[in-house]
Amino acid sequence: MTGFVSFVSSGPGDPELLTLKAARRLAEAEVVLFDDLSAGPILSHVSAGAELVAVGKRAGKPSPKQDHVSRLLVDHALTGQRVVRLKSGDSGIFGRLEEEITALREAGVPFEIVPGVPSACAAAAAAGIPLTRRLTARRVQFVTGADVTGGLPEGLNWAALADAEATTVVFMGKRTFPVLVAQLIAHGLPPDTPAMLAESVGHADQRLTRSTIAALATTLAEGPGAQPGLILYGPLAGDDA
């Protein structure tokens, strides 16, 4: 007997930003494998009898390997259970979704994907700004600031990332932002380009810090802090709410 896996996107952490479908899948689940950033109030939507399995990954901390997480998904589903794989933000954005889908397909396990509010969109909303503006911010791009080693990824498109007329969102980039900024400036992006650090978006300790790319790089070089965060830079990042 084969069960079913729902990849549920929890949004940035505020349970009020869950979709109705996401809340329903959590209530129906018999097993929930959740990430660190999807814990807390989000899990209040899970039924009392469901099994909760923490499988989150955090930079610099012991974390389960991806193949172990994929194996857990398959094993639970093959017992016939309704399984939810709970991911923060939108699961399709830097969420290792494809690797877990591949494991399910190879095992013949059916699944669905429930989209959610991306943390980049939630951060912009919290700051009271749009991600685009006619003529001056005509493009939005998402980039990861860390590869599997934790360092800045190789082969980045520097011309695109240094585009002064784009809104760029850097995920998982607090530790590598100083190195990134040095390259951005070398490729022509002005040091006074507006930047915003959005930490713990959607949580009670949410903090938004407006700066410039150069000043924020200096701050983060002194210590990135423990709060999860993303960075927006471009013409809109400095606008006040």
- Residue positions annotated with a catalytic role: 35, 57
Contact between residue 231 and residue 184 where contact means Cβ atoms under 8 Å apart: no
d(CA 95, CA 123): 17
User: What is the residue whose two structure tokens read 């390259």?
Assistant: 183
DSSP-H helix ranges across 47-173: 66-77, 97-107, 119-127, 158-161
**Which residues touch 24 (CB under 8 Å, ≥6 apart)?**
none
Are 150 and 211 in contact, with CB atoms under 8 Å apart? no
Write phi, then psi, for 82 (nearest 5 degrees): -85, 115
Q: What token pair was written down for 7?
A: 């990849």
Beta bridge partners of 211: 195
CA angle 164, 232, 151 (to 5 degrees): 100
Identify the sign of the CA torsion 79, 84, 86, 89.
positive
- What residues pair up with 5 in beta bridges, in sequence order? 83, 111
| Radius of gyration from C-alpha coordinates of the chain | 19
